Amino acid sequence: MSASGPNPPGTPQVKALNCPGCGAALTLRSFSQAVTVVCDHCHSILDAQDPRLTILQKFKADVDEYPPLIPLGTRGTIRGAAYEVVGFQRRTIHVDGIPYSWHEYVLFNPYKGFRYLTEYNGHWNDTSILRSLPTVNNDVSPATVTYLGGNYKLFQTAKAGTSFVLGEFPWQVRVGEDSDVSDYVSPPRVISSERTGKEITWSMGEYIAGRDIWKAFSLQGNPPEPVGVYENQPSPLSADTTALWLAFVGFLVALVVMFIAFESSARKEQVIQGFYSFNTNVRGEASFVTDVFQLKGHTSDLELTTTSDVSNNWIYLNYALINQDTGQAYDFGREVSYYYGYDSDGSWTEGGPTDSVAIPSVPPGSYYLRVEPESNFGHGTISYSISAKRDVPQASFFGLALLALLVPAGLITWRSMNFEHLRWAESDYAPADSNDDDTDNPDKPISLGNIFGKGSDS
Amino acid sequence: MIRNLYVLYGIIVLGTLAMAEYRGWSLSSVDEVKNVPRSVRDNPGSYRSVYGYYHHYTGGK
């Protein structure tokens, strides 16, 4: 869409007439296409097909009736064609006695005919009358319609009345006239049926951002901010959700391949293994050092495992992995404790005989371990073993990576689902767990914003 | 747009994972001490770990 120039090709000529009710000048922009025209001074609905402009109805407009957001006579370009706003009406439904209204703008192009813009609470639809009938399937709940391969779910059905009209209409418009309307949605589109008597009009609307309309009609200021989630408002995330999970599956495969690659290529070289005992009955210096061992290859981790025969006891080992050549030391402490027993709850255990730790990013070189055991005094001799392996893949990182990949995908999916939840909470066919507790809120988004009076093309 | 950002994010995650595995990163914490004297090898008692002599849990219900 874009703003039209001052004299675009095909610009309709204006025909000047006078209202037979009050004598005020009337502007007829759509020529013989108009079926009714409304005098905006005395609010008479006139028969535009009759040269004498017979008065069909006179209605009383509210004093505080606010003007259309897009003034009649405004021209703009929609889908490459120049259109002029020729008519405006307000439609109203009542839910639990509360009126909800939306606005419809009639657009005219002498070559393309009529199309419509609807607006409710800042949500806009670009709508046109269907030229062929959709297929209705009432055997499922909610009912669906199929049109040009698209499947649309019934969102809501209500009785809508025309409460205010202005300008020209390609049908016999009447204030106060009711019709049964149903909306079938497949965002960003909605198919609406409108039954008046025996006549049914089908139309299709496509959600459009207010700023695009403002741009198309070169309107001043900003469009009203949308309130809530509208029936056919496209989710800002739904299109991405499937692509996101496809990407996640790709990353999952990559993660598995990486795990296998690291597991199979890791050195896992055992560099030291020793068996020791610690006599807790003897006081004095217990620290000792191991033989020097070589850590080869690139900078990598060293996984150190301590195993002990502690029984209802503990042993704590102060470790220092010391580089013999550089004097660089890695200090850490590990405890092995194992307790068990039996009480009123049955048998229990706590701890275990083995402990493992990965010392991060140890450069290659000649190392030895300084070991200093501690335990309770006077508990006899505790046996333990120390073994260390070089370059052992850490599965915990794969778990963290999986979590890091899962969380954003999950959050975006949740937000998308929440958007759909908010949409369908306003439907007649809301899921059972939808908490539609804002019924009394006059600002709540309603459906049926894409409903027209009888279309001339039906 | 979001998919592209997610793909970029995923590549960074997998790249970081590859780096972590290759360089041997660990979630365990150790204290690095520099210039430990060579005499420790002959006299282990002359070195005291920063982790030594803290109050130990004695376990059990």
Q: How confident is the model at residue A453 (pLDDT cuts 50, 70, 90)?
A: very low
Q: How many residues are given for chain A?
A: 458
Across the interface, whether the CB atoms of A251 and B10 are under 8 A apart is answered yes
pLDDT at position A149: 92
Mind listing the pLDDT tens digit for each residue in A22-49?
888 888 888 788 899 999 888 899 998 8
Tell me the count of A-B CB pairs closer than 8 A.
Answer: 174
Segment A417-432 mean pLDDT = 86
Compute the distance between CA of residue A163 and CA of residue A250 in angstroms, rounded to an integer: 55
Among A63-72, A260-269, A301-310, the minimum mean pLDDT is found in A63-72
With CA atoms as reference, the chain B residue closest to A246 would be B3
**pLDDT at A361 (0 to 100):** 96
Strand partners, A84: A75, A108
- Confidence category of residue A457, pLDDT binned at 50, 70, 90: very low
Q: Residue B22 has which token pair?
A: 């290759």
DSSP A158-218: EEEEEEEEEEEESS---TT-EEEEEEEEETTEEEEEEEETTEEEEEEEEEE-HHHHHHHTT
Is the Cβ–Cβ distance between A14 and A27 less than 8 Å?
A: yes
Write down the pLDDT at residue B19.
Answer: 97
Compare A354 and A285 and report the one with higher pLDDT: A354
Per-domain residue ranges for chain A?
15-231, 240-261+397-425, 267-392
**Residue A354: how many other CB atoms lie within 10 Å:** 12
Q: Please give, rounded to a whole number of angstroms, the shortest distance from the CA of B55 to a CA of chain A.
A: 11
Query: How far apart are alpha carbons A78 and A271 in whole angstroms?
Result: 75
Residue B50, pLDDT > 70, answer no
pTM here is: 0.73
Top pLDDT among A347 and A438 is at A347
* Interchain CB distance below 8 Å, B3 and A401: no
Q: In which band, very low, low, confident or very high, does the pLDDT at A111 lie, cut at 50, 70 and 90?
A: very high
Record: fold of A267-392: Jelly Rolls (2.60.120)
Across A423-458, b (16+ Cβ under 10 Å) vs e yields bbbbbeebeeeeeeeeeeeeebbbbbbbbbbbbbeb
Predicted pLDDT at A449: 41
Check residue B47 and give its pLDDT. Answer: 86
pLDDT band at A438 (very low <50, low <70, confident <90, very high): very low
pLDDT, tens digit, 9 for 90 and up, residues A161-193: 999 999 999 998 999 999 999 999 999 999 999
- Do residue B24 and residue A339 have CB atoms under 8 angstroms apart? no
Q: What is the pLDDT of residues A210-241, one digit of tens each?
A: 999 999 999 999 999 999 999 999 988 776 78
pLDDT of residue B58: 60
Check residue A95 and give its pLDDT.
81
Q: Hey, which residues does A349 pair with through a beta bridge?
A: A340
Q: What was the ipTM of the complex prediction?
A: 0.87
pLDDT number for residue A144: 95
Q: Are A76 and A218 in contact (CB under 8 A)?
A: yes
Examine the pLDDT at A127 and tell me if it is beyond 90. yes
When scoring B14, B28, B46, B54 by the number of chain A Cβ atoms within 10 A, the one with the most, hence best to mutate, is B28
Q: Could you give phi then psi for residue A413, rounded to 5 degrees?
A: -65, -40
Instruction: Count how many residues are written for chain B.
Output: 61
Nearest to B33 among A251, A329, A343 (CB): A329
Per-residue pLDDT, A432: 64
- From the list A109, A107, A87, the residue with the least C-alpha distance to A11 is A109
Query: What was the pLDDT predicted at A346?
Result: 93
- For the cut 60, the answer to whether the pLDDT of residue A258 exceeds it is yes
Answer left, alpha or beta for residue A69, where phi above 0 means left and psi between -120 and 50 means alpha: alpha
Find the radius of gyration of the CA atoms of chain B: 21
Q: pLDDT category, A130, cuts 50, 70, 90?
A: very high
CA distance B32 to chain A (A): 5
| pLDDT tier, A444 (very low <50, low <70, confident <90, very high otherwise) | very low
CB contact under 8 Å between A330 and B26, yes or no, is no
Q: What is the pLDDT of residue A13?
A: 54
Find the distance separating the first CA and the last CA of chain B, reported in whole Å.
55
pLDDT digits (tens, 9 = 90+) for A186-206: 999 999 999 988 889 999 999
Q: Would you say residue A434 has pLDDT above 70?
A: no
Give the pLDDT score at A83. 96
B27 and A328: CB-CB below 8 Å? Answer: no
